[in-house]
Amino acid sequence: MNLTLYVWRQKDANDKGRMEKYAAKDINEHMSFLEMLDVVNEDLAQQGIEPIAFDHDCREGICGTCSLVVNGRPHGHETGTTVCQLHMRHFKDGDSIYIEPWRAKAFPVVRDLIVDRSAFDRIMQAGGFVSVNTGSAQDANSIPISKEAADTAMDAAACIGCGACVAACPNASAMLFVSAKISQLASLPQGQAERERRARGMIAQMDAEGFGNCTNFYECEAACPKEIPVKFIAKMNREYMRALAKGK
């Protein structure tokens, strides 16, 4: 199939950037979206045009590196899919496709479609860890954890930290990401010791990075490739109020 691409091109962080139009020719419907871009890039290189820079790593939907807004939706319109797992069979011959980077003040563009997501790293540094020495792996079941708690923690742990929630949120809020991390550790016994400190630290960092505030649009949940539910945001809010109430 043949497609028309409108791609955001930006030389570096200081460049103003603009949309460029490219033709994607003879695209196989079994290709992933990133493979399609590889083909386009080869074509561009042959024409002496600088290839399009985009982030990717595992290409199997588990690392959270790929980050493209396709036709106005982070990771494209398929639900529960990263853009590296989005296949070209979901497009039609002759389609026009807009490709843009994650847009948030806290995620500045580094080049073309690549943004700097170190804000997420700093949020994790502000409390997204357990700092007790846990030694080697426990015997199974030596720490009793209820099925419910284990399931909650597991659901939250599905977050791959890609930032699609921020890109999808009309307020560029990072609350789905932060709430998944806080909820995961708050559900498990190992996370109890630093529970309040973690909530306060991560939330203060999230605010300092300049993310917007959640107004319950629920775009994040719809865009999340791991389908993290917004109930975790409700849980994060409770965690925060709990920390305040405990005065820790």
Distance, CA of 84 to CA of 165 (rounded, Å): 17
The dihedral through the CA atoms of 63, 66, 71, 74 has a sign that is: positive
For 41, phi then psi, to 5°, come to -65, -40
Which range, of 43-51, 54-62, 133-141, 168-176, touches ligand FES by CB under 6 A? 54-62
Among residue numbers 3 through 42, which ones bind ligand FES (CB under 6 A)?
A: none
The residue among 62 and 145 lying less far from ligand FES, judged by its C-beta, is 62
Place of tokens 């996370």: 191
| Smallest gap from residue 54 Cβ to ligand FES (A) | 10
**Which entry of other proteins, ligand FES, none binds 104, CB below 5 to 8 A by partner kind?**
other proteins
The Cα 5–Cα 22 span in angstroms is 5
56: contact with ligand FES by CB under 6 A? yes
With CB under 6 A as the contact rule, the residue among 24, 66, 220, 243 that binds ligand FES is 66
Q: Tell me, residue by residue from 127 to 146, as one string, x for binding to ligand FES by CB under 6 A and - for no binding.
A: --------------------
Under a CB-based contact definition with an 8 Å cutoff, are residues 164 and 174 in contact?
A: no
Q: Output the smallest distance, CB 201 to other proteins, in A.
A: 4
Q: CB-wise, 34 or 123, nearer to ligand FES? A: 34
Partner touching 57 among ligand FES, other proteins, none, CB below 5 to 8 Å by kind: ligand FES
Q: CB of 112 within 8 A of CB of 101? A: yes
Binds ligand FES by CB under 6 A, chosen from 84, 159, 180, 220: 84
Q: How far is the CB of 63 from ligand FES (least distance, A)?
A: 3
CA distances from 225 to 19, 62, 108, 241 (A): 26, 10, 22, 29
Instruction: Give the residue among 124, 126, 119 at the shortest CA–CA distance from 200.
Output: 126
Report if residue 53 touches ligand FES, rule: CB under 6 A. Answer: no
Cβ proximity to ligand FES, 124 vs 145, nearer residue: 124
- Toward ligand FES, which CB reaches closer, 61 or 128? 61
Looking at the DSSP bridge assignments, the partners of residue 62 are none
CB of 137 to other proteins, least distance (A): 27
Q: Which residues contact 46 (CB under 8 A, 6 or more apart)?
A: none
Please give the Cα distance from 248 to 242 (Å, whole number). 9
Contacted by 80, from ligand FES, other proteins, none: CB < 5 to 8 Å by type: none
Provide the CB-side half-sphere exposure for 134 (13 A, CA). Answer: 13
